Structure 1
Amino acid sequence: MGEAIAAYLHYLSIFGLFALLSIEHVTFGKELDVARARRLIFTDIAYGICAGLVLLTGLVRVIWYGKGWQYYLSNSLFHTKVGLFILVGLLSVYPTYVYLNWRNSLNAGQPPVISRREKFLVTMTIRVELLLLLAIPLFATFMARGFGVMSSG
């Protein structure tokens, strides 16, 4: 039962991660007023929390319910999945940095001022994150079917 619950929570947090990033993409694409900018910041925080839940539930599955550390450490697709997840996390730093720079204007009740270049870079960063997140379940599917195991010899 614990294994099923851990898997469910892992999948749920992955869906939440993708949903929150999609919401962030749509919200950022609209004209930013104070309320929408604050919503973006809240969504970004929720996204970070959800990413932490993905990591935590993934670790629970690997440590207690998976095929054992040896299987995962010897699987190139597992390394690819984790690497992509880390890359998505690193990419997400840029939009967060941009949102944090809005504090002064939002505290003054003013909407943030965003240059065209900054808007383009944040939008493209979010799109790349979404694309990379879509690739991770593909590698998981292959891994679950025994692909990616490195031979020891």
Structure 2
Amino acid sequence: MLIAALIAGLHYLGIMTLAATLLLELVTLRGQITREAIERLARTDLMYGMAAILVLATGLLRLTEAYGRGPAFYMHNGVFHLKVTLFVLVGIISIAPTMRFLRWRRTMLKDNTLPDAGAVAGTRKLVMAELHILFLIPFLAALMVRI
């Protein structure tokens, strides 16, 4: 029982970390992008990736009878499927910003070039989309256990 609570707590912590890292990326992408901002984006995005792995791993553990309600509860719940679909969608959207942050860092280190305002604005829109979708997931989780 204690391990199940620990796994649930880590799951929630991972979700909060996802939101926090996306918010930090969003704030960093405002205005002028500097060398320090690109380094911060790369570090923050790495933390985002680790948090996503934590959420996925603990979520899979919570699907089991040992640490959650068991597969029968989740597999027949349409809200659960919507929640997972949105999580996957956030993950798919996150690929583009991650690739851009890595490319920006590589280019900056190679020839000291910073991204243009259009690329930054486009990336900020993607991060904003991720954040908006992510914010729906806890509401779906609350709804999921009540239907």
Q: TM-score, normalised by structure 1?
A: 0.88
| Deviation sequence 1:108-153 (CA, Å, 0-9, x none) | 362522242x2222111111111111100111001111x2xxxxxx
- State the match for 1:29 in structure 2: 30
- State the match for 2:14 in structure 1: 13
Q: Distance in 2 between matches of 1:30 and 1:52?
A: 30
Consecutive unaligned residues in structure 1, runs of 5 or more: 148-153
Runs of 4+ aligned residues of structure 1 deviating over 6 Å after TM superposition are none
| Deviation sequence 1:56-101 (CA, Å, 0-9, x none) | 1111111232211111111101100000000000000111121122
Q: Distance in 1 between matches of 2:28 and 2:111?
A: 19
- State the match for 1:82 in structure 2: 84
Q: Distance in 2 between matches of 1:76 and 1:141?
A: 13
- State the match for 1:151 in structure 2: none
- State the match for 1:43 in structure 2: 44
Q: Does the residue aligned with 2:86 lie in a helix, a strand or coil?
A: helix
Report the more deviating stretch, 60-69 or 88-97. 60-69
What amino acid does structure 2 have at the position aligned with 1:110?
Answer: N
- State the match for 2:109 in structure 1: 107
Given that 2:94 and 2:130 are in contact with CA atoms closer than 8 Å, whether structure 1 keeps it comes out as: yes
Q: Does the residue aligned with 2:63 lie in a helix, a strand or coil?
A: helix
The alpha carbon displacement at 1:104 in A equals 3.6
Given that 1:34 and 1:109 are in contact with CA atoms closer than 8 Å, whether structure 2 keeps it comes out as: no
Given that 1:37 and 1:111 are in contact with CA atoms closer than 8 Å, whether structure 2 keeps it comes out as: no
Q: TM-score, normalised by structure 2?
A: 0.92
Consecutive unaligned residues in structure 2, runs of 5 or more: none
- State the match for 1:119 in structure 2: 120
Given that 1:34 and 1:111 are in contact with CA atoms closer than 8 Å, whether structure 2 keeps it comes out as: no
Q: Distance in 1 between matches of 2:90 and 2:106?
A: 27
Q: Distance in 2 between matches of 1:6 and 1:38?
A: 31
Q: Does the residue aligned with 2:44 lie in a helix, a strand or coil?
A: helix
Judged with a 3 Å threshold, the aligned counterparts in structure 2 of structure 1 residues 20 and 34 are, in CA distance, closer, same or farther, namely: same
Count of aligned pairs: 145
